């Protein structure tokens, strides 16, 4: 067993459990087991994986209840963490300075959204959460934010402000729920911030429309349709590094709502994406785009909505 660990005794009921303290050797995709030597693995210890340069993905079992301080601190290549909403205690700095961390996937069993709040509080960068909620999937991107400090020399005071919409988005999450209406209402702020984050928010809300009100659905549809060329270009250009882009493009091409008489993706944007995909010799992406192009070329009278 390459895991380093210690056996602990719980202070409340004296049951024994495993606290992971490290890992011997190298691994890019770390999968923590649910038990070791017949004992449940309930904690990831202080600095257990801090500073590792090999980790890209981490999968934690549903037995994990505690993430101690700086457990994955400064893992510069770490991109994704998968876990359950079983976390009762989340200590400071668990994923701090994980500069490439983009996605947190959480299987919701208890409806305990505190774990989402904790990751967001620990990181001021843009984070995407994929929440498995029973048979539904919610995909929510939370934009970054920065503190801006200014010294008022005359008044001898330090004034600070928050730049970026990320702090407002973080306020949509409480311990037991996510306020989807408030999340969607904030989209105009994300658009002002600009960049790919607003595109990701809109695409995810249409592809995974958990609690998506009709007025916000139309808002996202209009945004995606207006920015279709930029969205498809980015999805094509990054598809080799992000294979999930294939499914995202397929979902956009087969989006089955009539957007006020217009298709979600204009034909011109699809044609440009096909050319780009062909230039890059992306066979799978080209096939998906060409199938979608043929589908959207059919007159609207032949569609069933």
Question: Which pLDDT score, from 0 to 100, does residue 109 have?
Answer: 97
Residue-wise pLDDT for 151-190, tens only, equals 666 666 666 656 789 999 999 999 999 999 999 999 999 9
Residue 303 lies in a domain: no
* Mean pLDDT confidence for 232-250: 96
- Residues 104, 164, single domain; the answer is no
On whether both 22 and 60 belong to a single domain, the answer is yes
Domain contains 93: yes
pTM (predicted TM-score): 0.91
The answer to whether position 220 is within a domain reads yes
Q: Residue written as tokens 């199938």?
A: 291
Mark whether 18 and 54 lie in a shared domain: yes
Q: Calculate the average pLDDT of the chain.
A: 91
| Measured distance CA(23)–CA(236) in Å, rounded | 36
Looking at the structure, tell me whether residues 147 and 179 fall in a common domain: yes
Strand partners, 207: none
CB distance 224 to 259 below 8 Å: no
Residues 254 and 190 in one domain: no
Residue range(s) defining the domain that contains residue 157: 142-226
Q: Report yes or no on 259 lying in a domain.
A: yes
Task: Please give the full DSSP string across 120-188, using - where no structure is assigned.
Answer: HHT--S-EEEEEEETTEEEEEEE---EEEEEEETTTTEEEEEEESSHHHHHTTB-SS-B-HHHHHHTHH
Q: In the chain, how many domains are there?
A: 3
Q: Residue 129 falls within a domain, yes or no?
A: no
What's the confidence (pLDDT) of residue 164?
85
Say whether both 236 and 217 belong to one domain: no
Arithmetic mean of pLDDT, 120-124: 93
Domain assignment present for residue 291? The answer is: yes
Question: Does residue 56 sit in the same domain as residue 101?
Answer: yes
Residue 137 resides in a domain? no
Mean pLDDT, rounded, for 251-279: 87
Say yes or no: 201 and 231 in one domain. no
User: Which of 226, 258, 280 represents a domain boundary (last residue)?
Assistant: 226
């Amino acid at each position: 067993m390459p895991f380093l660990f210690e056996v602990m005794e719980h202070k409340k009921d004296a049951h024994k459990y495993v606290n992971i303290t490290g890992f011997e050797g190298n691994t890019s995709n770390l999968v923590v087991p649910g038990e070791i030597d017949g004992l449940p693995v309930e904690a990831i210890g202080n600095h257990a994986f801090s500073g590792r340069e090999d980790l890209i993905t981490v999968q934690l079992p549903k037995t994990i209840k505690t993430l101690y301080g700086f457990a994955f601190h400064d893992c510069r290549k770490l991109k994704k963490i998968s876990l359950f909403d079983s976390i009762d205690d989340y200590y400071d700095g668990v994923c701090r300075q994980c500069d490439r961390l983009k996605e947190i996937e959480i299987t919701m069993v208890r409806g305990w959204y505190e774990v989402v709040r904790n990751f967001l509080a620990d990181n001021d960068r843009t984070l995407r959460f994929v929440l498995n909620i029973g048979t539904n999937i919610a995909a929510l991107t939370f934009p970054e934010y920065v503190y801006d400090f200014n010294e008022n020399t005359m008044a001898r005071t330090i004034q600070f402000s928050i730049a970026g919409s990320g702090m407002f988005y973080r306020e949509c999450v409480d311990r037991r729920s996510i306020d989807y209406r408030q999340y969607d209402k904030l989209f105009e702020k994300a658009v002002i911030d600009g960049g790919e984050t607003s595109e990701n928010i809109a695409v995810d809300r249409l592809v995974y429309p958990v609690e998506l009100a009709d007025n916000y659905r139309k808002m996202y549809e209009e945004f995606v349709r207006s920015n279709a060329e930029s969205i498809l270009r980015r999805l094509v250009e990054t598809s080799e590094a992000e294979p999930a882009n294939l499914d995202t493009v397929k979902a956009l091409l087969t989006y089955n709502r009539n957007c006020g008489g217009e298709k979600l993706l204009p034909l011109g944007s699809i044609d440009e994406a096909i050319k780009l995909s062909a230039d890059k010799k992306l066979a799978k992406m080209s096939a998906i785009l060409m199938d979608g192009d043929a589908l959207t070329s059919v007159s609207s009278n032949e569609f069933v909505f």
